[in-house]
Amino acid sequence: MKRGIYSGALGVTLVWLIYMTLAILTRNAYANLDQFAGLIFGELGYGWILFIMILLFGTLFGALGGAIGSGLVIFIDLKQMDRVDNAQTREER
């Protein structure tokens, strides 16, 4: 379960980091972040806070997705092992 959480969080964080960095470098997305932060905080210059929040939410949603996916795999494996054990028990009778 830990491995799913860590890999989900790391993967989504890296993708968002690369995407946001490319957007800032090529499309000047930082100006939009800075203006939106100005609406929230009342001053310009706080776009970096939104950048960090985007990465934080990406990390949290990636960890949640990894946990759900890992939990489903564990659950399905347990159900399959129970099914195999029940089939073997029936054959022995």
Burial status of residue 66 (CB atoms within 10 A of its CB: 0-12, 13-18, 19 or more): buried
- Ranges of residues in the chain with a pLDDT under 70 are 87, 90-93
pLDDT value, residue 93: 63
pLDDT value, residue 79: 85
pLDDT value, residue 46: 92
Burial status of residue 82 (CB atoms within 10 A of its CB: 0-12, 13-18, 19 or more): exposed
pLDDT value, residue 63: 97
pLDDT value, residue 86: 73
pLDDT value, residue 1: 82
pLDDT value, residue 68: 96
